Amino acid sequence: MESKLIQNCQKGHLEDFTGLYDAYSKAIYQFIYYKTHHRETAEDLTSLTFMKALKGIEKFNSDKGSFKSWLYQIARNNVIDHYRSNKVTQNLEDAWDLKDDTQIERDADFLLRIEAVEKYMKKLKPNQREVVLLRVWGDYKFREIAQIMGKSEIACKMSFKRVIEKLREDFTPFMLLMLFIK
């Protein structure tokens, strides 16, 4: 189905791009949101990602990788460009924008544990954090992660393995579970 939509778009039937947008928009938004921690920025960069994908759909080549990987590569590059062009210091309160469905009465202990995982994720090298995000929250295979990041599959596997080993040393099983909750 996906390949048919892509082929139709490449033939000029751009209305079929809606199916591709519907299939990937939520995942792309979540990926960008976790990298920016700002709802409006994530929305803008998600829109930009799909506009660039639509504009460049005729250049997509399935022999070089999956559409999903290609789309994530565009999103990743948009985030990089965003940070390069916006070197303004952000307000600390904006760093972890609360989701709209947040419930104030949540258990304080639960929030503290989530904060600990978030702090740990911030300490990781950007490439390590990205591998974990794509593998754990994006359900990507290491081959796809390697395509998105422009690295070897072995390098991505090793990076992930090192992070998981360190996590096992530093956190209780419950804290690890927080990392893997989508």
Read off the CATH number of the domain in which 165 is found: 1.10.10.10
Same structural domain, 72 and 119: no
What span, in angstroms and rounded, lies between the C-alpha atoms of 61 and 63?
5
Residues 6+ apart with CB under 8 A from 117: 171, 175, 178, 179
> Is 9 among the domain residues?
yes
The answer, as to whether pTM is greater than 0.75, is no
Given 54, 85, 116, the domain boundary residue is 85
Q: Which CATH number is 66's domain given?
A: 1.10.1740.10
Q: How many domains does the structure of the chain reveal?
A: 2
pLDDT at position 122: 79
For residue 19, the model assigns a pLDDT of 92
Are 25 and 78 contained in the same domain?
A: yes
Q: Are residues 81 and 12 in the same domain?
A: yes
What is the predicted pLDDT for the residue at 63?
Answer: 87
55, 130 Cβ separation under 8 angstroms: no
How far are the Cα atoms of 37, 76, 84, 124, 181 from residue 119, in angstroms, in the given order? 13, 21, 23, 9, 16
96: in domain? no
Does residue 123 share a domain with residue 50?
no
For the chain (182 residues), the mean pLDDT of every run of 10, in chain order, is 89 90 91 84 94 92 87 91 74 47 48 68 83 81 88 92 81 58 48
- Residue 90 located in a structural domain: no
Instruction: Quickly count: other Cβ atoms within 10 Å of residue 141's Cβ.
Output: 15
Last residue of a domain, one of 21, 53, 85: 85
> Are both 72 and 111 inside the same structural domain?
no
Structural domain containing residue 123: 103-180
Which region, left, alpha or beta, applies to residue 37 given φ > 0 means left and ψ of -120 to 50 means alpha?
A: left
Sole residue written with tokens 């985030």: 79
One domain for residues 63 and 134: no
Indicate whether 93 belongs to any domain.
no
Q: Is residue 6 part of a domain?
A: yes
What is the structure's pLDDT at 85?
86
